[in-house]
């Protein structure tokens, strides 16, 4: 199968690679089928590309890679909706926002993570009121260090150029 996207050109995929979000994403209820792939081999960033609306793609991260003390409590109703039986079958991703020209101010939506059952590829964006929808990814005191690290700057500039 193929999707002809505006950012990546033609992407080939197999049906079993799709992640299905039955309710879509907040603000994007018509996009229910997504492909997820890493930005690069050694990156913590991923693309979540809509198959239903190829012009829609999100940059996502695994929030546990950045927030080691993060505890997300997912309601039983939500886990039942995606057919989750074992905790180890759950993957969590959060959407990333990179302000134009200020990549050191990137933030992630911890209040609206996407949870995916890796066994059946069913997912759902859930609401977690205890967290911020605009959580800074890089603490303010570390932003000047971040600006000086060329690898990160190059990666983020490339991602912003594509998005």
Sketch the domain layout of the chain as residue ranges: 2-162
Average pLDDT over residues 146-159: 55
Task: Give residues with Cβ within 8 angstroms of 17, minimum separation 6.
Answer: 35, 121
Q: How confident is the model at residue 7 (pLDDT cuts 50, 70, 90)?
A: confident
Compute CA 117 distance to the chain's CA centroid, rounded to the nearest angstrom: 14
CATH number of 2-162: 2.30.290.10
Q: Which parts of 22-153 are beta strand (E)?
A: 33-38, 45-50, 57-61, 90-97, 107-108, 114-117, 122-125, 135-136
Distance between first and last Cα of the chain: 23
pTM for the model stands at: 0.84
Query: What's residue 4's pLDDT?
Result: 85
Using the predicted structure, report yes or no on whether residue 38 has a pLDDT greater than 60. Answer: yes
Q: Which alpha helices (H) appear in the chain, and where do they start and end?
A: 76-81, 143-148, 150-162
Using the predicted structure, report yes or no on whether residue 75 has a pLDDT greater than 60. Answer: yes
Using the predicted structure, report yes or no on whether residue 84 has a pLDDT greater than 80. Answer: yes
Reference 159, options 35, 40, 6, 10; nearest CA is 40
Nearest-angstrom CA–CA distance, 106 and 146: 11
Q: How confident is the model at residue 161 (pLDDT cuts 50, 70, 90)?
A: low
Nearest-angstrom CA–CA distance, 110 and 93: 9
Query: What's residue 159's pLDDT?
Result: 58
**Residue 28 gets which letter from DSSP?**
B
Using the predicted structure, report yes or no on whether residue 83 has a pLDDT greater than 90. Answer: yes
Q: How confident is the model at residue 43 (pLDDT cuts 50, 70, 90)?
A: confident
Q: How confident is the model at residue 158 (pLDDT cuts 50, 70, 90)?
A: low
Query: What's residue 1's pLDDT?
Result: 92
Q: How confident is the model at residue 153 (pLDDT cuts 50, 70, 90)?
A: low
């Amino acid at each position: 199968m193929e999707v002809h996207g505006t950012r990546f050109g033609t992407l080939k995929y197999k049906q079993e690679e799709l992640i299905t979000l039955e309710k879509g994403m907040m603000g994007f209820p018509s996009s229910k089928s997504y492909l997820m792939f890493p930005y690069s081999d050694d990156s913590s960033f991923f693309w979540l590309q809509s198959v239903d609306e190829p012009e829609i793609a999100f940059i996502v991260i695994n929030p546990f890679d950045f927030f080691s003390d993060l505890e997300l409590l997912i309601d039983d109703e939500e886990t039942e909706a995606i057919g989750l039986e074992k905790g180890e079958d759950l993957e969590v991703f959060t959407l990333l926002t990179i302000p134009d020209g200020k990549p050191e101010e990137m933030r992630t939506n911890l209040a609206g993570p996407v949870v995916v059952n890796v066994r059946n590829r069913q997912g759902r964006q859930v609401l977690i009121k205890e967290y911020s929808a605009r959580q800074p990814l890089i603490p303010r005191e570390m932003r000047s260090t971040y600006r000086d690290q060329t690898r990160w700057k190059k990666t983020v500039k490339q991602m912003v150029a594509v998005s």
